Chains A and B, each alone.
Chain A
Amino acid sequence: GNSVTQMEGPVTLSEEAFLTINCTYTATGYPSLFWYVQYPGEGLQLLLKATKADDKGSNKGFEATYRKETTSFHLEKGSVQVSDSAVYFCALSYDMRFGAGTRLTVKP
């Protein structure tokens, strides 16, 4: 069946460090892939998405590339800020299941 496996963390980084949060998936067909973010005290919101293989989603300095050959959609940011502290969820379009979430804390 369809599933998403996400690096769970928690992850603690210093400001301006490089971030990678791993996400791999198992699915048949051609799902779309998403990263959602939940800032402290706020609801979940879409961060970025990719709808087909080799697509790169990007937003707010974050990027993720849909890699069909490795069934991955890793989230990256070159230089994190304190304001990026949040919980990040990887998701698969037609499964309606989310990854376990990765809590990121960025320290000044």
Chain B
Amino acid sequence: GAGVSQSPSNKVTEKGKDVELRCDPISGHTALYWYRQSLGQGLEFLIYFQGNSAPDKSGLPSDRFSAERTGGSVSTLTIQRTQQEDSAVYLCASSIEGTSGWSSYNEQFFGPGTRLTVL
């Protein structure tokens, strides 16, 4: 079956421009996550959507970053007024259910990522 897909795979933009990154999760997965992976660094959590609940935005690094999820499926991560330090690989993941309860075991399925380069 289809996995998590992301587009574009690569994006080069100029400093100050806005960019939109798209994520198509696995059908039926109610939870969706965005992460950022800078060169040589670990995964930095950005935002998490679970069903119709309010998203957990605690990882967004600044108010230039926002994300939405339409119809409980596709998600778009928007970065406004991009800066060079925004250059990274942006990863999306989905899981059958989100983190609720004390003993959830939600394996995440990752997309291939979008490599963003801000010149």
Query: Which residues on the A side are within 8 Å of B43 (C-beta)?
Result: 44, 89, 98, 101
Asked if A34 lies at the interface with its beta carbon under 8 angstroms from chain B, I say yes
Asked if A95 lies at the interface with its beta carbon under 8 angstroms from chain B, I say yes
User: Interface size for chain B: under 10, 10 to 19, 20 to 34, or 35 or more residues?
Assistant: 20 to 34
Are B33 and A96 touching (Cβ within 8 A)?
Answer: yes
Query: Which residues on the B side are within 8 Å of A98 (C-beta)?
Result: 35, 42-43, 45
Per the bound structure, the CA–CA distance linking A98 and B59 in Å amounts to 12
Are B107 and A49 touching (Cβ within 8 A)?
Answer: yes
Per the bound structure, the CA–CA distance linking A91 and B91 in Å amounts to 15
- B1 CB to nearest chain A CB (Å): 15
Contact (A93, B105) CB under 8 Å given A44-B91, A98-B43, A101-B42: yes
Q: A77-99 CB contact bits vs B (8 Å, 1 = yes)?
A: 00000000000010101111111
Are B99 and A95 touching (Cβ within 8 A)?
Answer: yes
Complex interface residues of chain A between 47 and 75 (CB less than 8 A to chain B): 49, 51-52
Per the bound structure, the CA–CA distance linking A101 and B113 in Å amounts to 17
Asked if B110 lies at the interface with its beta carbon under 8 angstroms from chain A, I say yes
Contact (A94, B104) CB under 8 Å given A43-B91, A43-B113, A101-B43: yes
Asked if A22 lies at the interface with its beta carbon under 8 angstroms from chain B, I say no
Asked if A29 lies at the interface with its beta carbon under 8 angstroms from chain B, I say yes
Are B102 and A29 touching (Cβ within 8 A)?
Answer: yes
Are A49 and B99 touching (Cβ within 8 A)?
Answer: no
Question: 7 closest Cβ contacts across the A-B interface?
Answer: A29-B102, A94-B99, A32-B105, A100-B42, A44-B110, A98-B43, A101-B42
A contacts, CB < 8 Å to B: 28-32, 34, 36, 42-46, 49, 51-52, 89, 91, 93-101
